[in-house]
Amino acid sequence: MTAHVGDFDLARFLLNSSSAHQTSRSIGLRGSIGYAAASEPSIHGEMLLEMFIGKRPTDGMFKESLNLHNYVKMNLPETVANAADPRLLQYGGEGATSINYRHPDHRHASSYEIQECLISLFGIGLACSQETPSERLDTSDILAKLLVVRNKFMETGGIHEQRSRIGIQS
Protein backbone atom coordinates (compact mmCIF):
# COMPACT_ATOMS: atom_id res chain seq x y z
CA MET A 1 0.00 0.00 0.00
CA THR A 2 1.42 3.39 -1.01
CA ALA A 3 0.39 6.68 0.63
CA HIS A 4 -0.13 9.70 -1.61
CA VAL A 5 -0.56 13.36 -0.67
CA GLY A 6 -4.04 13.34 -2.14
CA ASP A 7 -5.04 10.54 0.24
CA PHE A 8 -4.70 12.97 3.11
CA ASP A 9 -6.26 15.96 1.32
CA LEU A 10 -3.13 18.03 1.95
CA ALA A 11 -3.32 19.12 -1.68
CA ARG A 12 -6.22 21.35 -0.63
CA PHE A 13 -3.72 23.62 1.14
CA LEU A 14 -3.30 25.75 -1.99
CA LEU A 15 -6.91 25.80 -3.09
CA ASN A 16 -8.84 29.03 -2.85
CA SER A 17 -12.47 29.90 -3.40
CA SER A 18 -13.42 32.38 -6.10
CA SER A 19 -13.57 35.12 -3.49
CA ALA A 20 -11.42 35.37 -0.40
CA HIS A 21 -14.35 36.95 1.45
CA GLN A 22 -16.79 34.16 0.66
CA THR A 23 -14.92 31.30 2.22
CA SER A 24 -16.54 28.71 4.42
CA ARG A 25 -14.43 26.40 6.49
CA SER A 26 -15.14 23.18 8.22
CA ILE A 27 -12.65 21.68 10.58
CA GLY A 28 -12.60 17.94 10.72
CA LEU A 29 -10.85 14.85 9.56
CA ARG A 30 -10.66 14.51 5.79
CA GLY A 31 -9.12 11.95 3.52
CA SER A 32 -8.00 8.48 4.43
CA ILE A 33 -7.07 7.59 7.99
CA GLY A 34 -5.78 4.18 7.00
CA TYR A 35 -2.12 5.19 6.96
CA ALA A 36 -1.65 7.03 10.24
CA ALA A 37 -3.67 7.93 13.28
CA ALA A 38 -5.04 11.47 13.21
CA SER A 39 -3.23 12.14 16.49
CA GLU A 40 0.24 11.59 14.99
CA PRO A 41 1.66 15.07 14.34
CA SER A 42 5.07 13.56 13.56
CA ILE A 43 3.61 11.85 10.49
CA HIS A 44 2.02 15.11 9.35
CA GLY A 45 5.31 16.94 9.92
CA GLU A 46 7.28 14.41 7.90
CA MET A 47 4.72 14.57 5.09
CA LEU A 48 4.78 18.36 5.11
CA LEU A 49 8.57 18.41 4.87
CA GLU A 50 8.54 15.73 2.18
CA MET A 51 5.95 17.63 0.16
CA PHE A 52 7.79 20.95 0.18
CA ILE A 53 11.36 19.71 -0.29
CA GLY A 54 10.36 17.23 -2.98
CA LYS A 55 12.39 14.39 -1.48
CA ARG A 56 11.47 11.20 0.32
CA PRO A 57 13.09 9.97 3.54
CA THR A 58 14.47 7.09 1.45
CA ASP A 59 16.31 9.45 -0.93
CA GLY A 60 19.97 8.51 -1.37
CA MET A 61 21.15 11.80 0.11
CA PHE A 62 19.78 10.86 3.53
CA LYS A 63 22.48 8.76 5.16
CA GLU A 64 23.75 8.36 8.71
CA SER A 65 22.53 11.37 10.74
CA LEU A 66 21.11 13.32 7.79
CA ASN A 67 17.35 12.94 7.52
CA LEU A 68 14.46 15.13 6.33
CA HIS A 69 14.24 16.90 9.68
CA ASN A 70 17.97 17.69 9.92
CA TYR A 71 18.22 18.66 6.25
CA VAL A 72 15.48 21.27 6.58
CA LYS A 73 16.72 22.46 9.97
CA MET A 74 20.24 23.15 8.68
CA ASN A 75 18.82 25.21 5.78
CA LEU A 76 16.53 27.46 7.82
CA PRO A 77 16.03 30.34 7.50
CA GLU A 78 18.96 31.71 5.49
CA THR A 79 19.11 29.06 2.77
CA VAL A 80 15.47 27.96 2.62
CA ALA A 81 15.63 28.04 -1.18
CA ASN A 82 18.27 25.29 -1.06
CA ALA A 83 15.94 23.02 0.91
CA ALA A 84 12.75 23.77 -1.02
CA ASP A 85 11.69 21.81 -4.05
CA PRO A 86 13.04 23.96 -6.91
CA ARG A 87 9.71 23.69 -8.71
CA LEU A 88 8.12 25.77 -5.94
CA LEU A 89 10.42 28.68 -6.68
CA GLN A 90 10.05 28.68 -10.47
CA TYR A 91 7.60 30.81 -12.34
CA GLY A 92 5.54 29.47 -15.20
CA GLY A 93 6.79 30.02 -18.68
CA GLU A 94 6.84 28.31 -22.02
CA GLY A 95 6.70 24.59 -21.38
CA ALA A 96 6.87 25.12 -17.63
CA THR A 97 5.58 22.39 -15.40
CA SER A 98 6.12 24.48 -12.30
CA ILE A 99 3.73 26.30 -10.06
CA ASN A 100 2.84 29.81 -11.16
CA TYR A 101 1.94 32.12 -8.31
CA ARG A 102 -0.34 34.96 -9.26
CA HIS A 103 -2.92 37.02 -7.41
CA PRO A 104 -6.36 37.63 -8.97
CA ASP A 105 -5.25 41.22 -9.67
CA HIS A 106 -2.41 39.65 -11.74
CA ARG A 107 0.31 40.56 -9.25
CA HIS A 108 2.92 37.83 -8.90
CA ALA A 109 4.13 36.90 -5.44
CA SER A 110 7.76 37.83 -4.99
CA SER A 111 10.43 35.26 -4.34
CA TYR A 112 10.82 36.77 -0.87
CA GLU A 113 7.11 36.31 -0.09
CA ILE A 114 7.19 32.71 -1.25
CA GLN A 115 10.33 32.01 0.77
CA GLU A 116 8.71 33.53 3.88
CA CYS A 117 5.78 31.13 3.50
CA LEU A 118 8.18 28.21 2.99
CA ILE A 119 10.09 29.18 6.15
CA SER A 120 6.80 29.10 8.07
CA LEU A 121 5.78 25.76 6.55
CA PHE A 122 9.17 24.21 7.27
CA GLY A 123 8.96 25.52 10.83
CA ILE A 124 5.61 23.77 11.25
CA GLY A 125 7.01 20.56 9.75
CA LEU A 126 10.00 20.68 12.10
CA ALA A 127 7.81 21.38 15.13
CA CYS A 128 5.61 18.40 14.22
CA SER A 129 8.50 16.00 13.72
CA GLN A 130 10.39 16.55 16.97
CA GLU A 131 11.83 13.37 18.48
CA THR A 132 9.89 13.53 21.72
CA PRO A 133 6.09 13.65 21.51
CA SER A 134 5.89 16.27 24.26
CA GLU A 135 7.84 18.71 22.05
CA ARG A 136 5.54 18.25 19.04
CA LEU A 137 2.72 20.60 18.10
CA ASP A 138 -0.83 19.64 18.95
CA THR A 139 -3.01 18.84 15.93
CA SER A 140 -5.23 21.90 16.51
CA ASP A 141 -2.11 24.12 16.67
CA ILE A 142 -0.89 22.59 13.41
CA LEU A 143 -4.16 23.43 11.70
CA ALA A 144 -4.20 26.99 13.06
CA LYS A 145 -0.62 27.61 11.89
CA LEU A 146 -1.28 26.11 8.45
CA LEU A 147 -4.32 28.35 8.03
CA VAL A 148 -2.24 31.42 8.93
CA VAL A 149 0.36 30.48 6.31
CA ARG A 150 -2.28 29.74 3.69
CA ASN A 151 -4.03 33.06 4.30
CA LYS A 152 -0.74 34.96 4.16
CA PHE A 153 0.16 33.13 0.95
CA MET A 154 -3.17 33.99 -0.67
CA GLU A 155 -2.82 37.66 0.33
CA THR A 156 0.63 37.88 -1.28
CA GLY A 157 -0.55 36.58 -4.60
CA GLY A 158 0.07 32.88 -4.27
CA ILE A 159 -2.60 31.22 -6.31
CA HIS A 160 -1.92 27.90 -7.93
CA GLU A 161 -2.97 28.45 -11.52
CA GLN A 162 -2.14 25.04 -12.84
CA ARG A 163 -4.55 23.00 -10.72
CA SER A 164 -5.89 21.04 -13.64
CA ARG A 165 -2.39 20.16 -14.86
CA ILE A 166 -1.75 18.16 -11.70
CA GLY A 167 -5.31 16.93 -11.24
CA ILE A 168 -6.57 19.23 -8.48
CA GLN A 169 -10.10 20.47 -8.98
CA SER A 170 -11.55 23.42 -7.07
pLDDT for res 52: 93
d(CA 53, CA 72) in angstroms, rounded, equals 8
Q: Is the pLDDT of residue 54 over 90?
A: yes
What type of residue sits at position 57? P
pTM score over 0.75? no
Count the neighbouring beta carbons within 10 Å of the beta carbon of residue 44.
24
Q: Is the pLDDT of residue 114 over 80?
A: yes
pLDDT for res 83: 92
Domain ranges of the chain: 38-166
pLDDT for res 94: 40
Phi-psi region of 9 (alpha: psi -120 to 50; beta: other; left: phi over 0): left
pLDDT for res 109: 64
pLDDT for res 17: 44
Q: Is the pLDDT of residue 164 over 60?
A: no
pLDDT for res 145: 94
pLDDT digits (tens, 9 = 90+) for 121-162: 999 999 998 888 889 888 889 899 999 999 888 877 654 443
Torsion angles phi and psi, residue 76, rounded to 5 = -100, 145
